[in-house]
Amino acid sequence: MITKFSVTNFKGFNEEFVLNLNDTNGYNFNVDSVKNGVVNNAIVYGKNGVGKSNLGLAIFDIISHLTDKETNESLYENYVNANNKSEEVKFHYEFLFNSKKVVYEYVKTDFQSIKSEKLLIDEKTFVCIDKSNNELVINFKGAENLKTNIPEKLSLLKYIKNNTILDNNPDNDAFHEFFNFVEKMLFFRSLEDRIYLGLQVGTKSISQDIIDRDNVSDLEEFLNTAGIECKLSVIKESEKKFLPLILEIKKLNYLESLHKVLGHLFFFITGFKE
């Protein structure tokens, strides 16, 4: 799980912004919200324009270079804070996997360009690269013979993960758990644009996916449980299938939007289960 995150000089974050999930402040109202002393469920709230969306984009920047999952580069325009003299954006993540503390930090100059990376496990450096001075360190058991002439914009961590069979040991297991976590990260926003980042490779029709997986009856039950009394049926038209929503209420336009929002949520929930 992620335990701490900080970012500096990204979009609206001129100075370092820290999100410390270890700081529970004695919270015990809902035991499901804190797991092993770390915030497990949280809500970030505030007025429009204070940086809530940018915080989400900052946290999910990691998937752009460590995974092949869905990304949206247009959301990362104006990457560097306009009021900061530095051209470097700094990211810092801390995770906990099976009592192993994993720290990953990197520096970028834009959405695609990684200047440096560093990975520590229990305070020991396992990966370190600084492209400005050609510094490169790899300390994983099983990666001793790995060629180090990697492409300019490729993450060294991703290169190690895709081109080695690491030895079985607790440190290497933590490295794989780290990647497993990042590859399952999901940014899901259901406003007018209804976008998502992470989890899947590429985009797809959600209705078609639900039909193909034979999940129509499950979606109908999901919507009715959420308070939308409806029936779903599959109709084939011009070699394509779609899901009409049959409602016995008047607020059709509003609930059509709500149906799409919940349909997206249902799609991702079933994806996680698989």
Domains assigned to the chain: 2-187 (3.40.50), 204-273 (no CATH)
Look up residue 20 and give its two tokens. 């410390």
**Residue 220 pLDDT:** 79
pTM value is 0.76
Contact 197, 59 (CB under 8 A): no
Look up residue 234 and give its two tokens. 């599959």
**Residue 241 pLDDT:** 54
pLDDT along the chain (274 residues), means of 10: 96 95 83 86 86 94 92 90 94 96 97 96 97 92 91 91 95 97 83 53 64 79 78 65 44 43 63 59
**Residue 187 pLDDT:** 81
Residue whose C-alpha is closest to residue 156's, from 171, 183, 138: 138
**Residue 223 pLDDT:** 77
**Residue 191 pLDDT:** 52
- HEC profile for the chain? CEEEEEEECECCECCCEEEECCCCCCCCCCHHHEECCEECCCCCCCCCCCCHHHHHHHHHHHHHHHCCCCCCHHHHCCCECCCCCCCCEEEEEEEEECCEEEEEEEEECCCCCEEEEEEEECCEEEEEEECCCCEEEECCCCCCCCCCCCCCCCCHHHHHHHHCCCCCCHHHHHHHHHHHHHHCCEEEECCCCCEEEECCCCCCCHHHHHHHCCCHHHHHHHHHHCCCCEEECCEEECCEEECCEEECCCCHHHHHHHHHHHHHHHHHHHHHHC
Per-residue pLDDT reduced to its tens digit, 203-244: 556 666 777 778 878 877 887 887 777 777 776 655 555 444
**Residue 91 pLDDT:** 98
Half-sphere exposure of 71 (CA within 13 A, CB side): 20
**Residue 246 pLDDT:** 43
**Residue 257 pLDDT:** 47
